[in-house]
Homo-oligomer: A and B are copies of this chain.
Amino acid sequence: MTESDIGTGTGRRARNKADKLRRIKESSYELFSEKGYDQTTMREIAARAGIALGTIFTYASDKRDLLFLIFNDRQDELRRVSFAAIPENAPFGDQIEALFTPFYYHFYTEPAFTRYLLRELTFFKNGIQSPRFQEGRRSIVKRIRELVEEATASDRLTPGNPSQHVAEMIFGLYQSELRLWLSGDNPAVKDGLKRLREAFDILIAGLANPRGD
């Protein structure tokens, strides 16, 4: 049983499960937001969702998995919005900035939740929600790789670079900037995006002195 199976079918059993899943997601998110991930207990989540403690573990393999049960839905929607926002035939820097902008705006609405997410996603391999989460990230990196290849084909970027690696570098820089941004006390979206764009511009322009002595 994977999460995608929950809610399929039309019998009473399926309806009950879909409803419980929804209540678990809602309760978890509310409590994580109100009190923080570490301060929220599984018992509280169960109580607010109106189910027994043990039932949670039918829907999530552990507490960390709950974070991604919540986030995976958002990630899907964010990816959709983000990919749609990429301007065609625009400078490469504009394109990748546009791609990451919706993520920054979303994370701004829940910085505390996002910090826990960034901590827990490191080497997140086990758990029911892990495959879906990792697939989401792969899909973002893949989209960046396509942008790199398109920009290379249209001579906006220099040829010869390994597109997969370049895409991973861009995603790595994004993550690094995101962490720095969220480490600050009151991070404004504009400031974070400005720094991110600066990093991309430096990567695009390169560090080497063109005089090349």
Contact = CB atoms under 8 A, between A and B. Distances in A.
Interface of A: 92, 115, 118-119, 122-123, 148, 155-159, 161-162, 165-166, 168-169, 171-173, 175-177, 179-180, 182-183, 195, 198-199, 202-211, 213
Nearest to A160: B205
A207 B92 contact: yes
A203 B207 contact: yes
Nearest to A122: B119
Contacts of A119: 119, 122-123
A157 B208 contact: yes
A92 to B, nearest CB: 7
24 contacts: A92-B207, A118-B122, A119-B123, A122-B122, A123-B183, A148-B207, A155-B209, A156-B208, A156-B209, A157-B208, A158-B205, A158-B210, A165-B195, A165-B202, A168-B180, A169-B176, A169-B199, A169-B202, A172-B173, A172-B175, A173-B176, A203-B206, A203-B207, A204-B206
A43 to B, nearest CB: 22
Which of A171, A198, A202 has the largest number of chain B CB atoms within 10 A?
A202
Interface core residue of A162, A182, A203 (most chain B CB under 10 Å): A203
Contact of A169 (B171, B173, B183, B211): B173
Given A165-B202, A166-B202, A204-B208, 20 more contacts: A118-B122, A119-B119, A119-B122, A122-B179, A123-B182, A148-B207, A156-B209, A157-B207, A157-B209, A158-B205, A158-B210, A161-B207, A169-B173, A169-B202, A172-B172, A172-B175, A203-B206, A203-B207, A205-B206, A210-B210
